[in-house]
Structure 1
Amino acid sequence: MKAELREIRGIKTYVERHGDGQSPTILLLHGFTGSTSTWQEVIKILSATYQVVVVDLIGHGRTEAPIDPARYRMDEQIEDLHQLLEELQIVRPIVLGYSMGGRVALGYTATYPDQVASLLLESSSPGLRTDEERQARSEADAKLAERIEREGIKEFVNFWQDIPLFHSQKKLSDEQRLAVRTERLSQQTIGLANSLRGIGTGSQRSYWDDLKRIELPVFLLTGSEDTKFVTIAREMEKHLPNVQHETIKDAGHAIHVEKPRQFATMIKSYLKV
């Protein structure tokens, strides 16, 4: 494993590379409150076959958390990824994103479709369709950002781990739940607050209309207990020209955390390697 801090467009960015550099590359993008550590179990399996590149997105993990919320915007993060891949000399990776990271992965693919081999989205969406939906979500995210800054990381994590989206994680072992909580607690207040302001679902543009133009292979993965994102994936299927959707039984939003071996095996099976 090679870990380093690279300056990408003025932001110190933490990145790890695992496996053989001559193998096909899979780029893994974590979700909100996540980091490279969320992928540990998946990396162990995938790095036997692929070069696995994991990055802490802006404001998360060991990557810098600037004070300007505009620096977290989708278009900025897309250009960060573009420069990072160029510097690492990675050509046409397989891009896999979870939740928020999935939205970044989709945005990157819509912007640079010829530079992505295939797109894998775990529990993610193309954003919200209408201005009204985006406005309402943006206002809710702004209030949550203020709450993080007012109450601090620990109080926010106590709240966040109990939202319905993560109820299925209560079935994890004590060790697994502690690892998830520790990862969340390691975040920076300004990083999480500005992520909500800059790249929350209400802040990004909708990519629904872009789906029909994405001709490369797309794999959608959802957990059976995450009914909201199962529904979103089924709707996405109608618009993507080259798509496969699989739902993993008895899993919730964070499939790679809840069922990492099944998740990684399904990824390898889809990629036929």
Structure 2
Amino acid sequence: MNLMVRSVNLHMKRYNIGAPKKVVWLHGFTGSSSTWKEVISLLPSSMELLTIDLIGHGQTDKPSDSAYYFVEEQLRELHALFQQLEWTHFTLVGYSMGGRLALAYAAKYPVDALILESSSPGLAGEEERQKRKLSDELLAERIMKEGVISFVDFWEGIPLFHTQKRLPVEKQEVIREERLAQSAVGLSNSLRGFSTGIQPSYWDVLSELSIPVFLLVGELDLKFCAIARRMENELPNAKLVVVKDAGHAIHVEKPKIFATIIEKVILEEE
């Protein structure tokens, strides 16, 4: 289904409409609602699930102005969407880039709980932020110049996704097709507007979040394991779950384990 929210046409999928427990899912960079398909198939019908194609991704609008991608704009659109749907109590799940957005949303608006998969609060140091901003700008230019296929070839080769090469070929092809379905404009502007070099750091906000926050990381993803442990120390109500033999995308590499964790978290909120 599609809904016009403010000035953006958002694409989303709803499952088990009317179920008592409500869960919103935000995908990562180069992803879409489809990234959650296998996990959702493993969850009970007692949860109403809403998956959203974030701006620049999937079937949602891909504006040519990168200002539409700023975190502040995305937060306003998400909040307006939830108001349209009359959702006031829900758990917010975010993976990687979607986790950054989920955390930013929870810092501004009420949610029942956060489930952050392989996510970070951003970059705290100004020098580090400037380096990342420049790096993402160069990558955005590369996408526009060389196209999506060339970029996906590069993206699949970065160390963050090496563990995905162990997956069955059929599954790797599904992941690649989802990435190839993106647009150059959408991906490049997502980097320009929602880079961790552009987005404000939320490290200082963590201590103020009293809601339950579940930090999910794969044990083979050393970088995000370290980030999650730092976040756990800052958050007053956090639980860290390290999934064995998994990398960055736990929901892709270990969907049954991921679904089990989600179900347990939601049920524990009752």
1:259 CA drift (Å): 0.6
8 Å contact from structure 2 (residues 28, 95) kept in 1: yes
Distance 1:237 1:185, change over 3 A: same
Deviation of the 1:133 alpha carbon: 0.7
- Given the two structures, how large is their TM-score scaled by the length of structure 1? 0.97
SS of corresponding position for 1:251: coil
Structure 1 ranges of 4+ moved more than 3 A? none
Q: 2:42 is paired with a residue of what secondary structure?
A: helix
- Whether contact under 8 Å (2:58, 2:181) holds in the other structure is yes
Q: CA deviation at 1:47?
A: 4.7
For residue 67 of structure 2, the aligned residue among 63, 66, 70 is 70
Tell me by how many angstroms 1:22 deviates. 3.2
What is the match of residue 174 of structure 2? 179
Write out aligned runs for 1:17-56 (5 A): 17-56=14-53
Aligned partner of 1:12 in structure 2 is 9
Measured against aligned partners, the alpha-carbon deviations of 1:8-51 in whole angstroms (never above 9, x if no partner) come to 11111101110142321100000000000000011112252300
Residues 19, 45 of structure 2: 8 Å contact kept: no
Aligned pairs for 1:131-170 (under 5 A) are 131-170=126-165
The answer on whether the counterparts of 2:232 and 2:239 sit within 8 Å (CA) in structure 1 is yes
Q: Which residue of 2 aligns with 1:225?
A: 220
Q: Which residue of 2 aligns with 1:85?
A: 82
What is the match of residue 205 of structure 1?
Answer: 200
Contact in 2 for aligned 1:19/1:47 (Cα 8 Å): no
Q: CA deviation at 1:226?
A: 0.4
Is contact 1:134–1:203 with CA below 8 Å preserved after alignment? yes
Distance 1:249 1:118 in 2: 24
Q: Is the 8 A contact 2:19 2:46 kept in 1?
A: no
AA matched with 2:169: D
Query: CA offsets per residue over residues 188-243 of structure 1, 9 Å max, x none?
Result: 11000000000011110000000000000000000011000000000001110000
Distance 1:40 1:225 in 2: 23
State the TM-score, normalized to the length of structure 2: 0.98
Is the contact between residue 20 and residue 47 of structure 1 (CA under 8 Å) also seen in structure 2? no
What is the number of residues matched between the two proteins?
268
CA distance in 2, matches of 1:49, 1:230: 31
Q: Which runs of 5+ in 2 are unaligned?
A: none
- Once residues 50 and 170 of structure 2 are traced to their aligned partners in structure 1, the CA distance between those partners, rounded to angstroms, is 25
Q: Distance in 2 between matches of 1:72 and 1:212?
A: 27
Provide the aligned C-alpha RMSD in A: 0.9
Q: Which whole-Å CA distance do the structure 2 matches of 1:5 and 1:272 have between them? A: 29
